[in-house]
Structure 1
C-alpha cells in the first residue's frame, strides 16, 4: 500500500481528500450502484445504512475483493453493471487524470456513466436524508442533526481516522499523539455509554460510524496499528454496546471478520511486510445476558 503523498514531513498520516463529492439525487431504481468492501470501515457504514433503511432494491451493490493489489480493488468475476474488472477503471473513466488512491465506498451513476461520489462522510447522510422510506429508522433526525454532526466529527478525529494516523505514522511523536487521541476518545465513550443504550436516545448515524471502528479494534487496530494501550474488551460499556449493535442484522450481516483481517494484514505491507495473518483473537460477539 503506497501512501507517499499522504505522509507529511513530520511523519503524520494525512488522508487524501475525496475527489468526487456531488450529492446523490433522489432514489431511482437502477440508476445508482454502490461499490463497497466488507473489509473497509468507511464502506461498511454505507452497507449497514442501506440495510437499515431497506433500500437494497434502490441501491444495488458490488462487493470488491478484500485483497487489494497494485491495480487497486478487484471485482471478482467483473462488475455486472459496468463490466469493469477493477474499481480503478470507474475512477479513470470519470477523471482520466486521477492519480490518487481508488477508494471505497463510491457510487456510480448509470444514467450519466460517472462516479458521483466517493465522499464517505457524506454518503450515509445523503441516504438518511433523502432515501429513507416508511417504517425505516430515522438515523439522522432533523432535530438532532447538530449534535450528531458534532459527535461524528469527534469520532472521526479521535477514533475513526485516528487509528489510521497511529498505524501509518512514520515518526514516534506523530504515533504517540494519534494513539493518545484514540484512547482519550474511547475513555469518553466508555463513560457516555455507562447509562445509555446508544450514543443518543435512539440508533443514529453516529452509532453506525462508531461500530465499524469498534468491530475492527481488537482484531486489527490493537495489534496491526499499535493501538495497544487497551483492548475493546477492556471497556465493559463499549464492549457491551458493540455486541448489542452486532446483534442487529444490518450490523451482523455486513461484518466479515475474515475479510477484515485478510485485507489489513495482507494488503497493508507497509505495516505488515510478512503478510502473515495472525490467529485470533477469540471473542464472543453474542450480546451480554
Structure 2
C-alpha cells in the first residue's frame, strides 16, 4: 500500500516514520434537538460495527449497557477487509439484510460520492437514505449516553455522569493517546527509534494506570464509566494481538496483576465480555496486516478460560452499574459463538 492510499483503519507501516492516525472523522451528530439534521429516532439508524475492531467494540458495549438494541440496529461486517472497504461477508449472500449493500463503502459514497478517506468502523448509517451519518467513534458513544436517553433501558447506568465528565474526558484522552493508539504506534512504527519511543510511552502509561487501579475498582468514581469502556477494548486484545503482533512485549496482560484483574472484572460484567469475539479479533489483525504478518498465519492461543478466573476486585468496593442494573441476556442474533468466547461456552453448558 502506498503512502497516498488509505486503509480501512488508517493503519499501515511507512518506512522510517512514526505512525500517525488520521482522526479527521465525519463529525455529523445524531441529537435530540436535530441540530445537524439527524434527529434521535428509534429504528431509523443502523450501527455498523465489526467485532474485530476495538473502536467499534466500544460502541457495541455502550449500546448493550444502555439497552439501545431495539432503538439502533446492529450490522456486523466480517473480521477481514480489503483496501477498499469492510464487507458484510458474514451475512447471507454477503449483503447486509437491512441496508442491502455488500460494502460499507457504498454507504459512505451514498453521502459523499468522492469520499477520499478510509472506510472505517464504527459507522452509523441512515437507513432511509442508505447514507453514512457519522464515523466519529469517540462522539458516538458519548451521544449514546447523552442524546439517546429517551430510549435507554430501565436501570441503564450513567456512563458519562455530569459530575465526573471533566475527569472522564481527561483520563479518556490519556488512554487514547498513550494506550489505545499507543499499541498501534508500536505495531506500525517505521523505524527502530520510532518503535522504541512508542514502546516506552505505552508501558509508562500502563504502569501509571496500574498504580491508579491498585486502589480503586474503576477509573473514575465508584462506577463503570466511558473511560473504562475505552480502556477495556485495548486490554482485551493485548495478549491475543498486541503483545506479539504489535511487539508490545515487555509483559503480557496476564503478567500485569492489577490490569489483568481489572480486565477480568470488566470481562465478567454483563455488557463487556459478552461482546468480545476472540476468533474475529485474531483473524482481523493477523490476516489484514500483511505488512506486519505476510504469512497471514493466525495463532491458536492464548488460553481463553483464564478470563473467567476470580479477580478479587470486589474487595475494592464500587458499584458497577451505580443505581442501575445489569443488562439482560444478549439479544438473539448478537451472541458470540461459544468457540470464540468463554462466556458463551459457559452459557451453553448451563
Instruction: Give the TM-score band, short-chain normalised.
Output: over 0.9
1:214 maps to what in 2?
235
Residue among 273, 283, 287 paired with 1:266: 287
SS at match of 1:61: strand
Task: Indicate whether 1:104 and 2:121 are aligned.
Answer: yes
The CA distance in 2 between the partners of 1:2 and 1:103, in whole Å, is 18
Instruction: Check 1:3–1:223 CA distance in 2 against 1; reply closer, same or farther (3 A cut).
Output: farther
1:288 maps to what in 2?
311
Q: TM-score, normalised by structure 1?
A: 0.95
SS at match of 1:249: coil
Deviation at 1:288, TM superposition (A): 2.5
Task: Indicate whether 1:126 and 2:143 are aligned.
Answer: yes
1:235 maps to what in 2?
256
Task: Indicate whether 1:92 and 2:105 are aligned.
Answer: no
Deviations 1:103-140 (A, max 9, x none): 10000112454211101111100111122324200000
Task: Indicate whether 1:14 and 2:36 are aligned.
Answer: no
Task: Indicate whether 1:33 and 2:46 are aligned.
Answer: yes
The CA distance in 1 between the partners of 2:160 and 2:2, in whole Å, is 35
Larger Rg: 2
The CA distance in 2 between the partners of 1:4 and 1:188, in whole Å, is 37
SS at match of 1:34: strand
Question: Within 5 A, what are the aligned runs for 1:53-72?
Answer: 53-72=66-85
- Answer with 179-188 or 21-30: which moved more: 21-30
Question: Mind listing any 5+ residue stretches in structure 2 that lack a counterpart?
Answer: 33-39, 313-350
The answer (yes or no) to whether the contact 2:109–2:131 under 8 Å persists in 1 is no
Deviations 1:31-59 (A, max 9, x none): 11100011000000000000000010001
The CA distance in 2 between the partners of 1:249 and 1:95, in whole Å, is 38
The CA distance in 2 between the partners of 1:179 and 1:236, in whole Å, is 19
Q: TM-score, normalised by structure 2?
A: 0.79
Deviations 1:88-107 (A, max 9, x none): 11111111111222110000
Deviation at 1:4, TM superposition (A): 5.1
1:83 maps to what in 2?
100
1:24 maps to what in 2?
30
1:193 maps to what in 2?
213
How many pairs does the alignment contain?
289
2:332 maps to what in 1?
none
Residue among 148, 151, 165 paired with 2:185: 165
The answer (yes or no) to whether the contact 2:49–2:57 under 8 Å persists in 1 is yes
Residue among 24, 44, 48 paired with 2:61: 48
Aligned CA-pair RMSD: 1.7
Deviation at 1:186, TM superposition (A): 0.6
